[in-house]
Structure 1
Amino acid sequence: MFGLIPWERRERALAFPREWSLFDRFFDEWMPSVRREEIPVVPAFDLSETEDKIVVKADLPGVDAKDLDIQIVGNVLTVSGEKKQEREEKDESYHWVERRFGSFSRSIRLPVEVKADEVEAVYKDGVLRIEIPKVESAKPKKIPVKR
């Protein structure tokens, strides 16, 4: 039966907490690079909408503005970039590394038609803010009710 259960679920099915396993603790604490799989850099995005525009905010701490690429094709916004690793000092030995580095790309389908040629992007304090104006036909129109 356990042969068909992936290893992570097998541990939960057997009800052994990870911290009880001496083998797991050894590799997690003393040789983290052996067990740690490559976790991609995936920035967090927020998408909101006002009457006139779509607003996208992305947390990109440690990314240089010159390493960002923003494109709109149709109604899909794509933000790509790279968070570069700092140069390591020769006298410095790391005991723990949790920060992620590398390239990323996020594509978001926009909920309405937009004016791609009027997009404004501002990058400040590690937060990218993109304002994308809507086309006139996508803006809500108030329809009066006759009595």
Structure 2
Amino acid sequence: MELNSVKDDFNRVTKKQKSSSSKARELLDQIRQEIERALESMWSVEKCFNPDISRAHRNIDMDTRTINQIIANHFYRQGPFDVGDHFLSAVGEPESAAIMKSLFLEMYQILQAMQNQNLEPALNRAATNSDKPLKVEGRC
């Protein structure tokens, strides 16, 4: 009797293994088909683009002074004023620094005061300039 039981168990395991193997093949075929469809669609999209990179840009005359001011503004906005000062002096525009820097210095002083629970500088700024918004020259 035990031999028949082992034989039945073996047959069941064999059927399950064949079934699992068949399902795995089906899944692999589906994955292969999906990959082939994806590759075909990528090829279709690729055909829509012009591979000549030289046609992707235009020659535009850049105003270096404006670009320098944008870069300096970035430094002042982030807080490293010495880097902004050094940058503007290196590009030969140190006179621009005072104008741009003063508003950011004021902003940072107000923020520092607010962090210390002191709203007086912010209120003074608002009262003094209630008719005009805080405007930073050359801001992008």
TM-score (norm 1): 0.24
Flag the structure with higher strand content.
1
Which structure has the greater CA radius of gyration?
Answer: 2
More contact order relative to length (CA 8 Å, sep ≥ 6): 1
Flag the structure with higher helix content.
2
TM-score (norm 2): 0.25
